[in-house]
Amino acid sequence: MPVVDVQPDELRRLTGHEDKSDEEFKDDLFALGLEFEGVTDDGAFQLEFGPDRLDRLSVEGVARSLRYQYGDARGVSVPNTNDPDWTFVVDDDVPDERPYVTGAVVRGVDLDDAALDSLIQLQEKLHATMGRKRAKGAIGIHDLTMLKGDVLSENASGNSITYTGIEPDGDTFVALDSNDELTPAEVLEQHATGRKYADLVSEYDRYPAIYDEIGLFSFPPVINGRRTEVSTDSRDLLVELTGTDQWTIDRMCNIICYALAARGATIEDVEVQYETGTVTKPDFEVETKRVSHDRIETVLGVELELDEVIDLFERSGLDANAELGEETVYEVSIPPYRVDVLHPLDLVDDVGRAYGFNELEPRYPDVGTVGQRHERSRLEDAVRTSLVGLGFEDLLNFHMISEGENYERMDVEVGSDYLGGGDPASITEPYSEDYTMLRTWVLPSLTMVLENNTHRAYPQDLAEIGHVAHRDDDENTRVAEARHVAAVLARHDATYEDAKARLAALCRDFDVELETPATDHPSFIDGRTAAVVIDGEEVGVVGELHPKVIVEHDLELPVAAFEFDLSALA
């Protein structure tokens, strides 16, 4: 989950509630879904929230949400923009892998230390989330006074910069945090930031580059030039974003523009000139979605008057118009910075938060039974108790994972018949490259935990009962889901026999017959691997992890492991 540092004094100033105490802010933030995680050394709140509300990745966005919650602001707000004076010319040499660009000019911004720190944090958090670590979208923010625009033509006024592609050993520039003139290729080899993001462009024939009349000043998505570095003395900024998806970089740009507008800045349009035509950015189009009154009441479980629903929408930063008929339907306007409203249920969630989830009174549903624990849940608890009794530490990991972690780092091919090799149930538009699919097995999650805990003492005996899924066209949902039991033993003397002994003890606890015929699996060592056969059905695998997998996860000692389908113990 994203964690954002927010100074409470900045919240007081930006919300206009100077009298609010820290404790009151914490309560109000929790009502918005932002959980207080602690305080930094300089007194900033550390706030954790779901990755859907990316407009809250800065103190400005958090303050805007609080103002709506307090009733100090209502409805959709769209910044006024001035006519464009700058043009981005997209050259035909731009790398095909990164063809899109957007941006804005921001004038009159007051950047004190707090505002600059917030802007940098927002840029970094957007890179990590929507930008997928800059692979899908990257942001460059420049001091506009340090740029000299090219004249578009003899008959045209205004300034232009050019987004193009250059040879790796082409023009030189001085990158941020450097004093040396370097070519893009040298930046990737010699600069710390260049080495960090080299993989994003190293396979390109030509590297992305942005020029003004003076020369190269930005090497996206890697690093900006020092000439245009932003400081607290900067008042006019150029914001440019490049990426692989136009929608993504447009929304990232909107979030930045709204944050700077909250600081009193004026937004100025830019024109983006492609070979196919010219478009104006930033894209502040207000989208609409529809949701019925009945659905809002059904989901929330409360009766609401029409005017009350419209009021709740406005207190969520939305606008709504009611269409009366057989069914009352609201047409809801969504501001440009909201990237999370994809479905009518997202609108219902906004109404519920504005109403106050704590105000909802719990009641029994209108059915003839009272809920009780599912038998599967009873089985899970019993297995979990047995695993703890066998010396394992119980874990709960995310059900989502990346394809690289699920397959490549475990040396398993997608679509293979091995445990964990099933076709992935992938997310079409994931917010983060770390979570792009539902995991097909649990062992990758456990090896990731081992990788992140190499500084901890050994032995480390870990177990998890978790959800797995893979594509299956025979299922109604086209996804087959299951619960798996997985365990790892990381210690200097871990062997196949250790893993099998724990597995056998677990099976005895549930009075099932275990067999372990030899098998092969790419994640395990040949000759030290067996199938898990319970009551005559093959349901998993047990063995010693292959050295390739161990080295891939930076582990320096043997790991024995097993995984099988939980239902086999029922």
List, as residue ranges, the binding site: 340, 346, 349-350
Q: Is the peptide bond before 99 cis (omega within 30 degrees of 0)?
A: no
Q: Angle between the 8-15 and 22-31 helix axes, to the nearest 10 degrees? A: 70
List, as residue ranges, the binding site for Mg(2+): 340, 346, 349-350
d(C-alpha 207, C-alpha 194), whole Å: 13
Q: In degrees, to the nearest 5, what angle opens at C-alpha 565 toward C-alphas 558 and 448? A: 40
Q: Are the beta carbons of 166 and 94 closer than 8 angstroms? A: no
- Torsion (CA) 437, 348, 31, 117 in degrees, nearest 10: 60
Q: What residue type is assigned to position 536 of the chain?
A: G
| Residue 65, CA distances (Å) to 14, 200, 359, 475 in order | 11, 34, 19, 42
- Cβ count near 290 (within 10 Å): 12
Radius of gyration of the chain (CA): 28
d(C-alpha 510, C-alpha 55), whole Å: 50
| Residue 99, CA distances (Å) to 136, 253, 432 in order | 11, 16, 21
- Cβ count near 106 (within 10 Å): 24
d(C-alpha 440, C-alpha 467), whole Å: 9
Q: What residue type is assigned to position 38 of the chain?
A: G
DSSP annotation of 291: E
- Cβ count near 513 (within 10 Å): 10
Return the beta strands (E) in 29-154 as ranges. Answer: 35-39, 45-48, 81-90, 100-107, 137-143
Two structure tokens written together for 188: 């990737």
Q: Are the beta carbons of 111 and 259 closer than 8 angstroms? A: no
DSSP annotation of 568: G
Placement of tokens 């050993």 in the chain: 169
Two structure tokens written together for 164: 């193009």
d(C-alpha 450, C-alpha 568), whole Å: 27
